[in-house]
Structure 1
């Protein structure tokens, strides 16, 4: 039982770290306006509608990479071949994503991709159980 719980925790932690790393790359390539901080919600609300497409799309790329990593790691840690741990990670991340999306004025395409991309936890799961892929 402890291994199963740890598998979800490990998936969430590694997925979050992957998201943070890709988002940092995105901020490096598409920096925020001078003096703006990413934790200033009011400034972010003003920035997002005018942000470059790729600045926003890097978040989707980060979510996709995070989903793959979360699905893969949770499956490897659980070590029982079941996809439920990857799915639990995906559901948790979808909830977090929806909360974030509700706080910021993001475009519709961002909502759609931001939610759909979490099905990639299943790809991470499949990579983890596929003996030929690793």
Structure 2
């Protein structure tokens, strides 16, 4: 039981790190306009309306990195080849993503990709299972 809990927590931490890392890269490549307060929800809402496509798409890329990482790490730590941990993490991050999309109005394409991309937890799961089979 402890290993299952640790698997889920490890996947959560690893995915959060992956999402944050890719989003930091996106912020580096597409910085907020000078004088924009990143802690002001209204300023961020206004920015999203005029932001370059890639600035917003980096968020989707970060979700994809997080999903792959969550599925992969949780499966490796659990060491039982079950999809359960990947599924739990996919649901947790999906709910978080939907909350963020409600909080910061996003274009419809972002909603579609922002929801669909969390299915990649199962690709991460499959990668971990394949790695275990080859060892």
TM-score range, shorter chain: over 0.9
Please give the alpha-carbon distance, in whole angstroms, between the structure 2 residues aligned to 1:4 and 1:47: 40
The aligned residue for residue 100 of structure 1 is: 100
Residue ranges of structure 1 left out of the alignment (5+ in a row): none
Q: Would you say how many aligned residue pairs link Structure 1 and Structure 2?
A: 134
The aligned residue for residue 53 of structure 1 is: 53
Please give the alpha-carbon distance, in whole angstroms, between the structure 2 residues aligned to 1:58 and 1:126: 24
Structure 2 counterpart SS, 1:117: helix
Contact 1:64 1:118 (8 Å CA) reproduced = yes
Please give the alpha-carbon distance, in whole angstroms, between the structure 2 residues aligned to 1:44 and 1:29: 17
1:37 offset after TM fit, Å?
Answer: 2.8
1:26 offset after TM fit, Å?
Answer: 0.3
Contact 1:8 1:74 (8 Å CA) reproduced = yes
Q: Deviations over 1:30-60 (max 9, x none)?
A: 0000121322111001110111000000000
The aligned residue for residue 30 of structure 1 is: 30
Contact 1:127 1:133 (8 Å CA) reproduced = no
Alignment of structure 1 residues 42-121 onto 2, 5 Å: 42-121=42-121
The aligned residue for residue 7 of structure 1 is: 7
